[in-house]
Structure 1
Amino acid sequence: MTEASKLPLAITMGDPSGCGPKITAAAWRTLHEDMETGFYVIGDPALYDCPTRVIEAPEEAGSVFSSALPVLDLLSQTKGVTPGQADPALAPAILESIERATGHALDGSAAGVVTNPISKSVLYRAGFSHPGHTEFLAALCESHTGSPAYPVMMLVGGGLRVALATIHVPLMQVAGLLSEDLLTQVAQIVERALKRDFGISQPRIAFAGLNPHAGEDGTIGLEERDLINPAATKLRASGIEISNARPGDTVFAEMLDGRFDAVIAMTHDQGLIPVKTLDFWGGVNTTLGLPIIRTSPDHGTAYDAARDGTARPDSLIAAIRLASEMVSGRGRHV
């Protein structure tokens, strides 16, 4: 067992009005007999409907995990939480949980971070200035290391690993955002993660095309000819095994058939639709390109399910398991 694999994972509280508390307790009930080091959550012990034990530091989690959910108490104002009712007053506690979990991973107290869902609109109403969750994590990492972080979103589920070249941008803007340099950088980050975190010694990556039929030799769009394929040529010259643009309607089936280890999609929905179709409940969002391991459920706060008590923990459980596998993979790669 490597040193990192002896450490617990840090789970963030997420929005306590959302599904986070219920799915965290359910994940502990599912995993507490199966994980040697386990995880701890940074939140309010009163939120969790399972046995809990307050810990003072991450290193105490391992001895507690098999009998109770270890909780590092925020000591922040999370009283009066109403499931399903968004509340900007909770924003400081939500952000503090993320900050502390990230700090633990950066200083070597935690093996990685698994983030529960947050609502950006709730945080924006409280003055949050980052575009989203991932950008906030990247800023925290940059502040700690002094080096820029280049986060890349990868979805894992249904037998697919799909990284995104662009994320939450209007479809009409995608072509203008794509560049040879961007695609080269994304592919390099994906290739490094496949080796380091997923234990794939010779990764095979595919670029999905932006246009139907991958542009049909420039007759249905020029982005493949002018941007994607030149990036692929440069990457292959550097030793990375990557395809030219493949038609988006077949490339995911090619991965399922074993031809590729990951696909780089050009747009958010191009990448998420196949993953969510194949594994709607168990997909995982992982952030590549950070100095820490970070995974997350591939869904939002699910306020309705939190209010009704119907939130499912499948994706959080999968995120915890994937984070543990990435810790082991990174340990083997060192």
Structure 2
Amino acid sequence: MNTRSDRPVLGITMGDPAGIGPEIIIKSLTDPEITNLCTPVVLGDLEILKKADINFAVLPKLVTTDDLSCDFSNFPTGCLVRLSSLNPNVTELGHPTPDTGRAMETYINTGVDLALSGAIDAMVTGPITKTGLKLAGSSFHGHTELIAHKTGTDNFAMMMAGTRLKVVLTTIHIPLSQVPGQLTCREITRIINLTRDTLITRFGIPTPRLAVAGLNPHAGEQGMFGNEEADIILPAIIQAREKGVDIAGPYPPDTVFFNAVEGRFDAVICMYHDQGLIPFKLVHFRDGVNTTIGLPIIRTSVDHGTAYDIAGKGIADPTSMKEAIKMAAVQAVNQKRHGNGNGN
């Protein structure tokens, strides 16, 4: 069993109070493996969590506080920081409101502040929706943009990570028709370097092996199906290789993920959203984790949404939340060992 000093302090944001976030947090914190791994600091709402803790198995173990300046490591079983006081009789599960939107944005902003100050070692974010943020009047579309803005980070990327496959996206939420025009040698090089550095400092892989997926069928087939591989992707790979990066490609997208799952690569650099997420979710649909790389703080998240349709029914699967907590703890430990604050 870990000693108290071994366990990283993790801030866990409740996500949208109208979604499954409260339920999967409660379910995760009933697992001894999780509570032995870290000191949880839940950032949320006491009354909403009470509705989720139907067996009253978690909340009695958490010290409830409003004090953001306290030393969270003093609470051996964790604590709950009350950041909102929503009326559980008015807050309808499955239906976001301006109040729930403001609450979930408050949880995120507080988590970032605590991580930047060193009060917590990492933050794990529960599921939110663009709808909730919009109702709250937020100018952000999701966690990544909000956290990057709040931390003043320009050099960041989205990694989907599991035990068998890790993918990093070069472009994310843009129409497929716009992808070729957004790809540049400079941007791909940035993603390659960021991925390599993150695997070293936060995943503890001394010499990461990277693969790069091509954009076109058969990776262009020597120009028969497109020139992006030869003109843009390959020059970025060559530049990275000349600087000592263990990297190969561009590989045909229909084979590279199989080789990565077989253990030949530690991560695959992908050109667009679905290219990476379709194979990733095929392998890690239940236990995948979304982690933002390049931030000055550690942030992991569940790889699913608020699931409004099942909120409050007691059937939400906490697997992704548990894996996000585990990964945040691993990254926190590796970062301390490496002595680097931001993975760069």
1: CA distance, partners of 2:6 / 2:220? 45
TM-score of the aligned structures, taking structure 2 as reference length: 0.89
Residue 104 of structure 1 corresponds to 114
Deviation at 1:258, TM superposition (A): 2.1
Deviation at 1:7, TM superposition (A): 4.0
1: CA distance, partners of 2:197 / 2:304? 26
CA contact (8 A) 1:44 1:78 kept: no
The root-mean-square deviation of aligned C-alpha atoms, in Å, is 2.1
The alpha-carbon distance between structure 1 residues 222 and 4, as it changes in their structure 2 partners (threshold 3 A), is farther
Q: Give the SS at the match of 2:249.
A: strand
Residue 120 of structure 1 corresponds to 130
Residue 72 of structure 1 corresponds to 81
Structure 1 residue 191 corresponds to structure 2 residue 190: no
User: 1:86 aligned to 87, 92, 96, which one?
Assistant: 96
Q: Give the SS at the match of 1:198.
A: coil
Structure 1 unaligned blocks of 5 or more: 143-147
Residue 272 of structure 2 corresponds to 267
Deviation at 1:240, TM superposition (A): 1.2
Residue 209 of structure 2 corresponds to 204
Per-residue deviation, residues 145-191 of structure 1 (Å, max 9, x unmatched): xxx43221111125001111111111111111111011000111100
2: CA distance, partners of 1:240 / 1:302? 40
Residue 226 of structure 1 corresponds to 231
Alignment length (residue pairs): 327
User: 1:149 aligned to 148, 151, 154, which one?
Assistant: 154
Deviation at 1:130, TM superposition (A): 2.0
Deviation at 1:76, TM superposition (A): 4.6
Deviation at 1:304, TM superposition (A): 0.8
1: CA distance, partners of 2:5 / 2:336? 7
TM-score of the aligned structures, taking structure 1 as reference length: 0.92
Pairwise mapping of residues 152-171 of structure 1 onto structure 2 (< 5 A)?
Answer: 152-157=157-162, 159-171=164-176
Q: Please, which moves more after superposition, 311-320 or 7-16? A: 7-16
The sequence identity of aligned pairs, in percent, is 41
Pairwise mapping of residues 12-23 of structure 1 onto structure 2 (< 5 A)?
Answer: 12-23=13-24
1: CA distance, partners of 2:5 / 2:276? 31
Deviation at 1:293, TM superposition (A): 0.4
Residue 25 of structure 2 corresponds to 24
Per-residue deviation, residues 275-318 of structure 1 (Å, max 9, x unmatched): 11112111100000100000000001110121433211000000
1: CA distance, partners of 2:311 / 2:237? 44
Pairwise mapping of residues 321-332 of structure 1 onto structure 2 (< 5 A)?
Answer: 321-332=326-337
1: CA distance, partners of 2:70 / 2:331? 20
For 2:20, give the aligned amino acid: C
CA contact (8 A) 2:133 2:141 kept: no
1: CA distance, partners of 2:133 / 2:316? 22
